[in-house]
Structure 1
Amino acid sequence: MLPALPVEAISAREAEMAAAGKGETPSGERSSGKKTRGTRSAPAGPAGRRGAAKSGQAGKTAGKAPKARKAGGRANGEAAAKAAELPVREGEGHWTAAELAEVRAGLEKQIAALRAEIAASASQIAEGDTSEGAGDDQADAGAKTYEREHELALSYNSQDLLTQIERAVQRMDGGTYGTCESCARPIGKARLQVFPRATLCVTCKQREERR
């Protein structure tokens, strides 16, 4: 048999068990049944607000990016479809958007160069008109007249060439580029890549030159 515990020890054990059943601490104090409330977080400072604003802007930018890609893809698709609709001769492949853009870039470069050349020529002709003197002899007057007529002829040729090139660009925009203006047949992709301002096919051009 186990030795009997003292009466004081049994009474203290029972008191602790009874206190535990009532929710009290061994010292006799009741444990609080209230839950501890969490402390409120301090309001975000300027740095926090700036970070939130940047995050919002980044979200908006990320949302716009797919729309921009869709718009770019739609434009590329329309350009490819427009190029493929241009007429070609039998045996030739259809125009691609890149090929048509390359031809157009070359035409626009020629337009810029011709406009600058025409402006410079007009300036030289105007200076020649004001610099003519009344004391020039017949030889000098004749030479100046010849030079002026030569410059005028070059200016007219440049102007005519500029008109042809601008017309070719307009035909691209109108969807009629590559169609012969005489017989309405395809001019030919290979011919236009070499001579992009052509408006007549080879047969109609040869017929025109024989007249």
Structure 2
Amino acid sequence: MSTTKTTDAATGGGSGSVRVAPTVNAAPVVHAERPTTDVDPAGLPVRPGEDPWTAEELDEVRTTLADDVVRFSEQLATSNAELHNLLRDGTEGAGRDPADVGSANFERDAEMSLANNAREMLDQSQLALRHIELGVYGTCDNCGQPIGKYRLQAFPRATLCVTCKQREERR
């Protein structure tokens, strides 16, 4: 952990005292690129007490993720088309009632949220499939420990173990 110094004078405090704010310099786990080959499911990491992955379990996760990629791609295309229409129509203009403008802005913002969510879920699903291809599926991106087979079966896009996820949510 390192610290960052800021002065109150620089931030408008005026007294010139120095405040120290902690920063975290944890390096993310980097997975070396490996050639895409058939992954041995039993070689994927699992938590202590869990059975190794079977080919059927891994195929089920792959199928779920592939279905998610299709579904989120369709959602993203639909949201982008709707956004295009909303932006094309504009939100302001001569003679438009302020309530109509507010409603259009609300609709645009809601559609943007849907598009961003679909994009993020699509990216996560594609990343999980890539991790399977690389043989690193189930390794926490933060600490490098196993995420846990049961966690991944419940949420196949997980990239953090429970401990790191809890730590992230407390921030």
Where on the TM-score scale, by shorter chain, does this alignment land: which range?
A: 0.7 to 0.9
Letter in 2 for 1:102: E
Distance in structure 2 (CA, Å) of the matches to 1:204 and 1:129: 39
Return the letter of the residue paired with 2:144: A
Q: Which has the higher contact order (CA 8 A, sep 6+)?
A: 2
1:125 CA displacement: 1.2
What is the letter of the counterpart of residue 165 of structure 2?
K
* Higher helix fraction (1 or 2): 1
Q: Which of residues 125, 130, 134 in structure 2 aligns to 1:165?
A: 125
Partner of 1:149: 109
Indicate whether 1:82 and 2:40 are aligned: yes
Partner of 2:70: 112
For residues 1-211 of structure 1, what are the structure 2 equivalents within 5 Å? 79=38, 82-132=40-90, 134=93, 135-211=95-171
Q: Distance in 2 between matches of 1:124 and 1:207?
A: 37
Give the structure with the higher percent strand: 2
CA RMSD after TM alignment: 1.5
- Tell me how far 1:181 sits from its aligned partner: 1.1
Cα separation, 2, equivalents of 1:96 and 1:166: 21
Post-superposition, which runs of at least 4 consecutive aligned residues in structure 1 deviate over 4 A?
none
Hey, what does 2:18 align to over in structure 1?
Answer: none
Structure 1 residue runs without a partner (length 5+): 1-77
Aligned AA (1:144): A
Counterpart position of 1:19 = none
Percent identity of paired positions between Structure 1 and Structure 2: 46
d(CA) in 2 for partners of 1:131, 1:85: 54
**Which runs of 5 or more residues in structure 2 are unaligned?**
1-36
**Which has the larger displacement, 132-141 or 94-103?**
132-141
TM-score normalized with structure 2 length: 0.74
Q: Give me the whole-angstrom Cα distance separating, in 2, the residues matched to 1:165 and 1:190.
A: 17
* DSSP 3-state at the match of 1:99: helix
Q: Compute the TM-score of the two structures, normalised by the length of structure 1.
A: 0.60
Q: What is the rounded CA distance, in whole Å, between the counterparts of 1:194 and 1:130 in structure 2?
A: 40
